[in-house]
Amino acid sequence: MHLIYFLLRSNWGMVAIAIVTGFLSGGSSAGLIALISNAAGRDPGSSLATIVWGFAGLALVALVTSIISQVMLIRLSQNAVLQLRMRLSRQILSSELSHLEQLGNPRLLATLTEDVQAVADGVFQMPFLFINLAIVLGCVVYITWLSWLVLLMIVGLSVVAIASCQWLLNRGKKLLALAREDQDILFNHFRTITEGIKELKLHYERRQVFLDKKLQSTATAFRRHNVDGFTLFATTTSWGQLVFFFAMGFVIFALPNILAVNPQTLSGYILTFTYLMMPMNNIISKLPVLSKASIALQKIESLGLSLASRAELSTVPPAVKTSWHSLQLNDVTHTYHTAETDNNFILGPINLTLHPQELVFIVGGNGSGKSTLAKLITGLYIPEAGEIRLDEELITEQNREWYRQHFSVVFSDFYLFDELWGLENSGLDSKVQEYLKVLQLDHKVKVKNGKLSTTALSQGQRKRLALLTAYLENRPIYLFDEWAADQDPAFKKIFYTELLTKLRDQGKTVLVISHDDRYFHLADRIIKLEYGKVEFDIKGV
């Protein structure tokens, strides 16, 4: 029902049409069985013309309605999955950064990949499910027409079968839900493998503890829950088949001894029950896929609700200020939440005023709050208290998107795009080529139609490409978080003595998070943080 409601929300009109045509297809298929049964027991001297035309008509209706139902539901289901992917991606991009960091990348990746794919697999089965259900209902109608008493017996057996299978189905679904929880942990371990491969290779004991105690235990639990869950579904399938065969045996062997059944009616029962085996098996065999899809959809909706609760207002921002006078942080605080709730890091209260054409170094020890302050200044973190003002304009939910467009940033954990999205213009390639020469990368990287030939470079060279992107954005305020940490001494000197000062001389405000004290004398201001507070804010020396 959860999946059906999901499809109905997408386009209830198309779902209704698809269901109606599906039931027409299934009903026509069941009608063919009744027709075949009547033809088998007809008087040899009677005409075949009516039966032949009826058979051809039902076969044509079954074919056409089946195609219509399947095509409509396949299109609808794939459109629904596309909308689901796009909605979830938009929700992630519009949610507060601090909330996304609390959720963690493994959960987001598991939902975007595994959960969405599970829903796609489930909704793909929906057209065939409706048609098989229609066939079953059509056969039941035919059985009812043959004998009400037999229908009552079948209903009784169905009640017993459903009641006996319900516990197995519920238990199997709970186990699959536990397997889905294990999957989040598995994605976290896979992230450890991909991001920590060098450290794991260099430390044998650490690698063995990770493999044997962490990855192995989680993967084993995931396997156990899946095996137990699917085993219960398989048991349910076998039990349902047994009940079905029992019903067939009852009709063949017991029913003639209870009721006076003529051979034609008995052959109709046998033919109908035999034909029912395939759609019943199809329905039962799809239960694990549908249950997994239902669980995945619940996880997606749960994540969607969580993201929606911390969503930011997304609007098309107006043009940025090309000329501004002051950026103020007044009593701004932010709490960095950790797994240990009693040990949260609090930054602030921070009081700062930044001005145009300043070169500001933000310094301090590791963990002093420099990167957190950078995210507050750039609007990525929302202050829990205090306010940020740009030229006395208070930054709120309504204008935060606009405010962020004033910054070009290269974070220490930057992401490098191989295409210059959002920067398209006629002279882009030539401008990129000029910057590649300045950054001493023109011998390794080429550009064509805004696409870089490669990003497979050293970390220091990749940072230079990120700096290139920041140059092209040409925004009023630049922020570099430990940018020079991966540069060789020669280019580090070029960065501090030439690149930064040129940006400042062009009228840009440049904020630099750095530990390179030998270049502190180049700063117009030095702001030092200690334990989340400003220890001093002085003019450059």
At 427, which CATH number? 3.40.50.300
Does residue 510 share a domain with residue 479? yes
In a domain, 316, yes or no: no
**Residue 45 pLDDT exceeds 60:** no
pLDDT of residue 495: 92
In a domain, 321, yes or no: no
In a domain, 314, yes or no: no
Q: What angle do CA 393, 345, 326 make, to 5 degrees?
A: 20
Write the Ramachandran bin of 15: left for phi over 0, alpha for psi from -120 to 50, otherwise beta.
Answer: alpha
Does residue 334 share a domain with residue 410? yes
Least confident segment among 37-41, 377-381, 480-484, 535-539: 37-41
Separation CA 536–CA 209 (nearest Å): 44
Does residue 333 share a domain with residue 245? no
Q: Quick one: CA dihedral 393, 397, 400, 401, positive or negative?
A: negative
pLDDT of residue 333: 93
Does residue 305 share a domain with residue 333? no
- Domain CATH code at residue 127: 1.20.1560.10
| Two structure tokens written together for 57 | 């008509």
Give the chain's end-to-end CA distance (angstroms, integer).
Answer: 70
Does residue 263 share a domain with residue 331? no
Residue 38 binned pLDDT confidence (cut-offs 50, 70, 90): low
Separation CA 291–CA 171 (nearest Å): 11
Does 349 sit behind a cis peptide bond, omega within 30 degrees of 0 on the bond before it? yes
In a domain, 466, yes or no: yes
Residue 410 binned pLDDT confidence (cut-offs 50, 70, 90): very high
Helix %, strand %, coil % for the chain, to 5?
A: 65, 15, 20
As a whole-number percent, the residues of the chain with pLDDT over 70 amount to 89
pTM (whole model) above 0.85: no
Residue 40 binned pLDDT confidence (cut-offs 50, 70, 90): low
- How many helices (H) and strands (E) the chain has is answered by 19, 12
Residue 37 binned pLDDT confidence (cut-offs 50, 70, 90): low
Does residue 104 share a domain with residue 59? yes
CA atoms within 13 A on the CB side of 512: 30
Q: Are 101 and 92 in contact (CB under 8 A)?
A: no
- Name the residue with tokens 């990749």: 462
* Nearest by Cα to 447 from 458, 436, 460: 436
Question: Is residue 68 exposed (0-12), middle (13-18) or buried (19+ Cβ within 10 Å)?
Answer: middle
| Two structure tokens written together for 255 | 């029913």
pLDDT of residue 338: 59
Does residue 344 share a domain with residue 280? no
Separation CA 238–CA 285 (nearest Å): 10
Domain termination site, one of 280, 309, 338: 309
Does residue 351 share a domain with residue 292? no
Does residue 352 share a domain with residue 224? no
Please give the C-alpha separations between residue 70 and each of 168, 432, 495, in angstroms, as whole numbers: 30, 50, 62
Domain termination site, one of 258, 274, 309: 309
Q: How many domains in the chain? A: 2
Does residue 248 share a domain with residue 353? no
Beta bridge partners of 534: 529
Residue 1 binned pLDDT confidence (cut-offs 50, 70, 90): low
Which residues constitute the domain of residue 212?
Answer: 2-309
Residue 373 binned pLDDT confidence (cut-offs 50, 70, 90): very high
**Residue 46 pLDDT exceeds 60:** no
Question: Is residue 443 exposed (0-12), middle (13-18) or buried (19+ Cβ within 10 Å)?
Answer: exposed
Please tell me whether residue 487 adopts helix, strand or coil conformation: coil
Domain termination site, one of 309, 343, 375: 309
In a domain, 317, yes or no: no
Average pLDDT, whole number, for the chain? 82
The model's pLDDT over 377-396, given as tens digits with 9 standing for 90+, comes to 999 999 989 999 999 899 99
Does residue 418 share a domain with residue 279? no
pLDDT of residue 502: 92
The model's pLDDT over 479-497, given as tens digits with 9 standing for 90+, comes to 999 998 888 888 999 999 9
Separation CA 473–CA 13 (nearest Å): 46
In a domain, 322, yes or no: no
CA 323 to chain centroid: 40
531 vs 285, residue with greater confidence: 531
In a domain, 231, yes or no: yes
**Residue 24 pLDDT exceeds 80:** no
Does residue 343 share a domain with residue 292? no
* Nearest by Cα to 62 from 18, 17, 40, 31: 31
In a domain, 527, yes or no: yes
Please give the C-alpha separations between residue 4 and each of 12, 72, 189, 222, 500, in angstroms, as whole numbers: 10, 14, 34, 28, 58
pLDDT of residue 509: 94
pLDDT of residue 526: 93
